[in-house]
């Protein structure tokens, strides 16, 4: 199954380290960062989950939370959490799904047979409160992810949901943004009272409107 941006994230029931969940009910009105890791007791994954644990407050400030999956068992997950907390200095407070039959991983296209048919790749889905898939990123098992980039991505989407702007390359919170081309200059004058700079007719730069 190929999931595209704008698709409704498939619902599922799953056993996790925090008990059984029904995904859509568990997600509630939050944004969800749903990501897979290849296997428990592996070095790169240990660093990733430890760093994600440290982002709990950053995610909560954005109305977001993490959900993790691999094809290992709940028992293995719970044992591995002890290692994560010991080596990474963070408490793992998010659920980790046990998907031993690979049903959810297959549903979310997290198994890439030409990479490795036995494990999940490093897939990331960012899902909004309407249960729509807003972003997806796929990394190979050998490369650890940049979770600061995922926070930046959520910031961008939440900003652009509320204003008729887009965020430029390498944008960070508080930096200037771009007025979308569909907004006329006349409307831009009304919508962006801080003013804007016209670099080209299609490239108008304005201060971040909610700062």
The pLDDT assigned to 121 comes to: 83
- Shared domain for 56 and 116, answered yes or no, is yes
Instruction: Give the tens place of pLDDT for each residue, 55-93.
Output: 999 999 999 999 999 999 999 999 999 999 999 999 999
> Is residue 82 a part of any domain in this protein?
yes
Residue 194 belongs to domain spanning = 163-206
Could you say which of 27, 45, 68, 69 is catalytic? Answer: 45
> Is residue 90 a part of any domain in this protein?
yes
- Shared domain for 96 and 186, answered yes or no, is no
> Is residue 155 a part of any domain in this protein?
no
Number of compact structural domains in the chain: 2
- Shared domain for 45 and 127, answered yes or no, is yes
Is pLDDT above 80 for 118? no
- Is 64 a catalytic site residue? no
> Is residue 25 a part of any domain in this protein?
yes
> Is residue 120 a part of any domain in this protein?
yes
- Choose among 173, 180, 169: nearest CA to 159: 173
The pLDDT assigned to 123 comes to: 94
Q: Are 12 and 107 in contact (CB under 8 A)?
A: yes
Backbone angles phi, psi at 135, to 5 degrees: -160, 150
Confidence band, pLDDT 50/70/90 cuts, at residue 1: low
Domain C-terminal end among 145, 173, 190: 145
> Is residue 3 a part of any domain in this protein?
no
- Shared domain for 129 and 80, answered yes or no, is yes
> Is residue 158 a part of any domain in this protein?
no
- The CATH number of the domain holding residue 32 is 3.40.30.10
- Choose among 47, 49, 115: nearest CA to 77: 49
- Shared domain for 99 and 202, answered yes or no, is no
Instruction: Give the tens place of pLDDT for each residue, 103-116.
Output: 999 999 998 887 77
Q: What is the mean pLDDT of residues 176-193?
A: 97
Q: Are 8 and 1 in contact (CB under 8 A)?
A: no
Instruction: Give the tens place of pLDDT for each residue, 123-152.
Output: 999 999 999 999 999 998 889 999 999 999
Is pLDDT above 70 for 20? yes
> Is residue 2 a part of any domain in this protein?
no
- Shared domain for 94 and 177, answered yes or no, is no
- Shared domain for 124 and 21, answered yes or no, is yes
Is pLDDT above 90 for 4? yes
- The CATH number of the domain holding residue 189 is 3.30.1020.10
């Amino acid at each position: 199954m190929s999931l595209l941006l704008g698709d409704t994230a498939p619902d599922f029931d799953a056993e996790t380290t925090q008990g059984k969940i029904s995904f859509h009910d568990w997600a509630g009105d939050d944004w969800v960062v749903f990501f897979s890791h290849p296997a428990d007791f592996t070095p790169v994954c240990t660093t990733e989950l430890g760093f994600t644990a440290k982002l709990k407050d950053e995610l909560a400030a954005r109305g977001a939370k993490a959900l993790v999956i691999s094809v290992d068992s709940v028992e293995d997950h719970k044992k591995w959490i002890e290692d994560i907390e010991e080596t990474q200095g963070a408490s793992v407070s998010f659920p980790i799904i046990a998907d031993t039959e690979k049903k959810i991983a297959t549903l979310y296209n997290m198994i890439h047979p030409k990479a490795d048919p036995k494990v999940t790749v490093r897939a990331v889905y960012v899902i909004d409160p309407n249960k729509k898939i807003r972003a997806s990123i796929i990394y190979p098992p050998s490369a650890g992810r940049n979770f600061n980039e995922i926070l930046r991505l959520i910031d961008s989407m939440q900003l652009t949901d509320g204003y008729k702007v887009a965020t430029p390359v390498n944008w960070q919170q508080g930096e200037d943004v771009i007025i979308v081309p569909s907004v006329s200059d006349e409307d831009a004058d009304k919508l962006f009272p801080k003013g804007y700079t016209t670099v080209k007719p299609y490239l108008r730069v304005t201060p971040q409107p909610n700062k």
